[in-house]
Structures are given as C-alpha cells and as structure tokens.
Structure 1
Amino acid sequence: MAHYWALWLLVHVGGRVPLPILEGIASGGGTLAWWCARRLREVTRDHMRHVLGVGASQHDVDRAARDCVRTTARGYADFAHLSRMSPEIVREAITSFDGLDAILEAQSAGHGVIVISAHLGAAEVLSHAAPALGLHFGGIEEPLRPQRVYDFVRSVRATPGVRYFTANLGGLRAARAHLGAGNVLGLLVDRDVLGTGRPYAFFGERALMPTGAVEIARRTGAPIIAVWTLREHEVGRYRLVARRLDLPPATGDRAIDLDSGMRAMLDALEDGIRLAPGQWFPLAPVWSGLAADRISEPHPDNPGPYNGSDGERTATNGA
C-alpha cells in the first residue's frame, strides 16, 4: 500500500511542481540511490559493461550506470507530468521525429503496425503524443501488483484515443484484434517481464528475450518498426527515431522463422540502445539465470567514448 500512496503523492503533489525542478530532484535522488544501493550499482554496471563493450573504462561504465538510474528517476517525473498534458502539448515537446512517415505510411496500408521499443529515454512519450501524431495507438503493458496500484497507474496513463492491453490471455487477444483492425500496437522488447522469453544472444551474451513481437509479425504479416524516444539536453524535450525492420523472408519453418526474426529485432534493439546507453533504464538484471558465456564479441564498430551528456555517446567513426 505504501507504493500506492507514493505514486499518489507523486502525481497529485509532484505533478504540480515545475518539471525542471521535479526532474532536478529526481536526478539528484537517482544519483544518491546509485551510490547508496549496492544492488543498483551491480546491476547497472553489468548492463553498461555489455552495452559499452569490453574496451570501456571503469570510469565510463560507472558514469553510464549512474545515468541509467537517473533516467529511471526522471521517468517518474514524466509519469507525474504527462498525465496533465494533452496529446498536442506532448507533441510540441518532441523536437524531431525521424521516421514518423514510415509509421503513418504503414498504418495507412491497413494491415496494422507493430512498434517495438525499449526501456530507453522517455518511453511513454510516444503513447501520450500518438493521437496528435495521427497514430491509432495501443500498447501492451505489464500487470502490476497489488491491483490498486495497477488501476491507479492505468488511470494516470489514460490518454484519449489510446488503448492499453494487459499482458494476459484476454489482453493479448484484444491487442491482436486492435492490430488486425489496422492500428498501431506498441511493445517493449528489452526485458522478459512475463518469464516466457527464450534465450538469444544480446550484446554478446545469452539472455531471455520476449518473442511476442516477432511471433505476431510472422503470423499476421504486420511490419515491425523500432522507435526510440531519447531525452534531449533541455528538460522536457525529446527526440524520436524510427526505423523499419526488414525481417528475413519466411521459410515455412516456424522455429527457423522465429529465430531469424529475433536476430533482426535484437540487432535493431542493440543499435537503439547504443544511441544513448545511459538512458537505458531496466533495473532488474537482464543477463541472469543462464550460463555467463559470451557468444560473440561486442559490436565491432567503435561508437566512441561515453560522454555522459544526456546518456548519449560521442561518435568517433563518422556516425
């Protein structure tokens, strides 16, 4: 019940605090939490070692790991403020949306569009801005416990013109129907939240990864478009990047088609997270429960040192 009242105070009290002040408090709290909680340091350091690669210095790893926790804390500030903002106002906070035309074009084809993303940057901005962007959006969300907390979170997230589907049997059926009607269905694909994932190489080491997006795409023929919502340096401003995934042609063998589709999706997921490692904010271990053998070397490119600026990297290879 303490969780419920903490969220209630955040929304009804914190939501009235100017966003720059609230984000400043959140960022400071995230930094303090990282230094005080050994578990947070261990998990986020492990994540950043995978993302930054074996050549990253301990200084860069720690700096990015702290940014991950700060991004999580800033996400709570978003949660409090987005509920008070109309889709049009959220749309105005988006400084650029590279690839929006690809989503609108795919949506207009009437076959439905699967939008994948990650716990990266400000992931909820897209759903709040969707009606103002011309997107008929629905998102699959993780069930929370206790039920009172889940109901409260759903009420805060509620945006006119946007649907949310619980990740259970009934919710997934409704989500499939939403997609089948030619709409946009959003999923976060960087964590095995439901415990039904399968092992795949992710940043060079096996991790249990959710397969639902690829399974739905293979069954329905709906295209997959990856969308990353990155925080800009200015508080309350966001940059969105969308890229369509080209899945390998289907062979008719479900296992082979799933594996090839997952590899394409995970390649896109890795590329998206590399855009801003310090903005990737899962705080539960991604690589756990499997043998800790590295399957492949980290990304062969040299994306540059971590500069700690809004969680992004400095490019040194011309990218």
Structure 2
Amino acid sequence: MGAYALYRLAAGAISLLPEPVARRLGEAVGWSASFLARDRLALVRRHLARVVGEEAATVRRARSMFASYGRYWAEVFWVTPRRTGGILAASRVINPERLTEASARGKGVIVALPHSGNWESAGLIAVDLGVPVLAAAEGLPNRRLVAWFIELRRKMGMDVVVAGQDRYITAKLIRRLQDGGTVALVADRDLSGRGVPVLFFGEETTLPAGPATLAERTGAALIPVACFFAKGRGNIYVIDEPIDIPDLATRPQRVAAATQAFANALEELIRRAPEQWHLFQPNWPSDRAQT
C-alpha cells in the first residue's frame, strides 16, 4: 500500500473517533514508536539537552517528544472543516493584538514558526482573527498526498504554496506581502543547507534566510509565533513581539542580524514546552557528525 493510501486510511479511521480517543491514541502510538527508533530517540535527546541541559534531558522526556508528535498526527488526521469551530473554542491566543495590529498597518506580516505542537493549526487562529494567511509548505515526493493536504487547508480558509513544486513561490509570497497580506513560514530547520549562520541553543548552525529576507525586502512585520498543545483538547498560541530589522550597511548584514534575533526568539518560545518541539532530524553540524 502506498503512502497516499495509508494516509487516507489513517485519516478516515481516526476521523471516526471521539477527539479525546484520537488524541490519546496518537500519543500512545508516538510513545511506542520511540522504543523502535533508538537512533532517533538518541538524536531527539541531544536536541532536548540543548534546550534543558544534559541532566534534565531524560529518556522519558525524550519519549514524550515522540508522544507529542503522535498527537500532532492524530489531530491532523482528525480535523475536518466542520470541526474547526470546536478547536478554536478550546484554544487560547496569547497576545493576539500583536498580529492584528501588525496586519492593520497594511505592510504585510510574516508569521514564522517552529515545528511545535500542532503548528498546522496556527493558520486557523489567524483566519479566526481576521488575518487570512498564505502558508508555505514543505514539498513531499508524493504529489497526490501534497494535493490532499493542500485541499484540506483550503477548506479551512488557508491558501498554500509548496516549496519545490512551485517555482514562483518567492514571487507569490512577496506579492501577498506587498498587498498587505500575511504569509506563514515554518522556519526552525534549514532544509536547503544555504541558510544564515546563527547561534541556536548555544551551538552554531544555520536557519532559513527566508523570513528575514522577505521582511527586509518588503517592510513586512516579522513575528515569531509558536503553537503548544493544551493539557486536554485545544491549543495555546503564543504571538511574540515583531523582530526589528536593524539599520545596517548591507542587506546580508541586516538579514543576518534579524535571523539571529529570530533564533533568540525561537529559543524562548521552545523553552515554554520543550517536549512539544517536533525536531527529529539532524539540525546542528555536530548531529550529522554523530549519525
């Protein structure tokens, strides 16, 4: 059975369950998966140690990151357009005025997020606040699967462009910002390998240049946002202060400084719930040296 069929089967089955059952099932599957992926568990524990320190980065806390990721997938499969109202009612937004006031300026907004909690659902909150978004999604090898995900998000009021499958993606993002719109970018991993060098949780790595570059080119507000699971149903969305683009001599200098400021903001957001940071790939040069 192909990946597309498996995803559709999982979505069909989980969508039939009551929300608490789906959520707990996802957590149980994720927790169990941590026993089968020992190398990945060790990698996740290294990531966790950067955030909370070696002594606090216990195996149990690392397994909790797998459980949280399982909940993420359960929620992705469970949600349908008719269920979004219940999700919004059970969720809470911290500092919503930071997003709405930036949007009201009319110069565009870049919402930049880590892979925490159910980051996909951040678009729902933006739409609910009257700030519809154009989200840039990572490309997948299976185009049918990508098309299915895009259609689901469109039914929930979000527009989507796919990296690697749309050669005009940058132009579309810039156009949306120049029109005073909002774009959403998940930006805690540098998939291209051509990102901006930063100090991130005490160790040098790179982060995507996209958020800071778009902000520098268009004058749009760059706002870090993170999503976290509530203890039960629903999510908590934290909207941080906009990142200032410094007045430095050259564009590369301005982008580098803003990206480091974004990395600093990500650190503070992720520390709110380290077990909900879904980073299961090498993200620092030392990770790759040990794999």
TM-score, L = length of structure 1: 0.84
1:252 to 249, 254, 264: 249
> Structure 1 residues 26, 262: CA separation in 2 closer, same or farther (over 3 Å shift)?
same
Does the 8 Å CA contact 1:126/1:229 hold for their aligned counterparts?
yes
Please say if 1:79 is aligned against 2:72: no
Does the 8 Å CA contact 1:166/1:172 hold for their aligned counterparts?
no
Please say if 1:105 is aligned against 2:101: yes
Superposed CA offset, 1:172-226 (max 9, x none): 2112111111111111111113333233211111223111000111111111111
Q: Secondary structure at the match of 2:69?
A: helix
**Residue in 1 aligned with 2:47?**
47
Question: For residue 201 of structure 1, what is the amino acid of its counterpart?
Answer: L
Tell me the distance in 2 between the aligned counterparts of 1:248 and 1:154.
Answer: 32
**Residue in 2 aligned with 1:124?**
120
1:268 to 265, 268, 276: 265
Amino-acid identity (%): 26
Tell me the distance in 1 between the aligned counterparts of 2:152 and 2:197.
Answer: 34
> Structure 1 residues 290, 197: CA separation in 2 closer, same or farther (over 3 Å shift)?
farther
How far has the Cα of 1:75 moved from its partner? Answer: 0.9
How far has the Cα of 1:160 moved from its partner? Answer: 4.5
Deviates more, 1:1-10 or 1:101-110: 1-10
Tell me the distance in 1 between the aligned counterparts of 2:128 and 2:266.
Answer: 26
Tell me the distance in 2 between the aligned counterparts of 1:75 and 1:229.
Answer: 11
Which ranges of structure 2 fall in alignment gaps of 5 or more residues?
none
**Residue in 1 aligned with 2:169?**
171
**Residue in 2 aligned with 1:69?**
66
Superposed CA offset, 1:252-281 (max 9, x none): 312221221111100001111000000001
Superposed CA offset, 1:8-52 (max 9, x none): 012122111112111211111111111121122121111101111
Q: Secondary structure at the match of 2:82?
A: coil
Question: For residue 180 of structure 2, what is the amino acid of its counterpart?
Answer: G
**Residue in 1 aligned with 2:209?**
211
**Residue in 2 aligned with 1:188?**
186
Tell me the distance in 2 between the aligned counterparts of 1:86 and 1:22.
Answer: 14
Tell me the distance in 2 between the aligned counterparts of 1:107 and 1:250.
Answer: 22
Superposed CA offset, 1:267-296 (max 9, x none): 00111100000000121111137897xxxx
Deviates more, 1:9-18 or 1:125-134: 125-134
Report the RMSD for the aligned CA atoms in angstroms: 1.9
**Residue in 2 aligned with 1:308?**
none
Please say if 1:148 is aligned against 2:141: no
TM-score, L = length of structure 2: 0.92
Which ranges of structure 1 fall in alignment gaps of 5 or more residues?
293-319
**Residue in 2 aligned with 1:313?**
none
Superposed CA offset, 1:62-94 (max 9, x none): 222111111111111111122343543332121
Question: For residue 210 of structure 2, what is the amino acid of its counterpart?
Answer: G
